[in-house]
Structure 1
């Protein structure tokens, strides 16, 4: 298995450091413990967002297409890994707690507790949607679990929404890898474009927040 991937992925994608390293690591996991290895890889991807599910999931589909394990096993274990990884981050949010989080945020420059209150109010209104749709958005797929834990979202609702959103996301990518076969890595190219758009949107939002806060501080100083 590893030989085929090492010859196909780097020459097609132009991103050898990503596909070569992550694909080889994921292949080793799947070769060692089978379909549960794909689930473990996805669980770790939730805990360490730099690990791209957009590589691991199509690779799991490709591996299933070769008969190393079934398509149903690939979908089951990758979705189980998504839920486990998300739940661990949810527990981190629970351990962090609302009061501790507010004390930490109070030390961050340019961030007021009023901003925290606004975010909490938004999450209380839209938290269920954020957890469900967040499973299909790079970066936020992992991070959304922490505020869910801080706000003590009912755990069974959190797990249900995580399961539903992850199953949709995982099915799309696993099936793509399954039917594309040795061209599984093409999925990552299109997913990478989407991820870059998300990152660009986040950067713009952060820049807007910083500029607005700096202007607010200046206005306070001028009026005092």
Structure 2
């Protein structure tokens, strides 16, 4: 296989992986739902090889579980497992906020403000999938701004695993507006460079999020 062909195949697999992650995070693909290789290949206009690679990577990340036959299914977790994941997630996200408050750059601030502007736009429009995508973009911008790739990777892993469960916490437009307002307060703490306040508020933000997730799942 030529290097050009291999790069093309990897690129297709990455596009499929990204598209599926977005849909899972937005709740458009739900826990336990089966993903069939053949149907995905038809949908993306690709061979089954890059589809299999994309599913394999998502399975390695804990987002998917190996299913029967050719395919996989979105991972399912018990309430106890979710509680344990969120307990770890609280601390990692809070640490990210603390580090960003200490290390904030103009570029990182601009990226967070851009993502938050999209959150407000989607919330005001009652656009649930749009809000979920913007919400993910904001948190990933915070992770990147830590400047620590190991912490960024851990935080991203938990966010990918919990995506379909977090999506259920938004039931009304009011939920979106309240979440966007909470983000405003979080960014205010981060931009103030008060790392302890940023840490405490992010932990509070995540704890409230977890309680809503448990109520919805």
Structure with more strand by fraction = 2
TM-score (norm 2): 0.31
Q: Max radius of gyration: which structure?
A: 1
Structure with more helix by fraction = 1
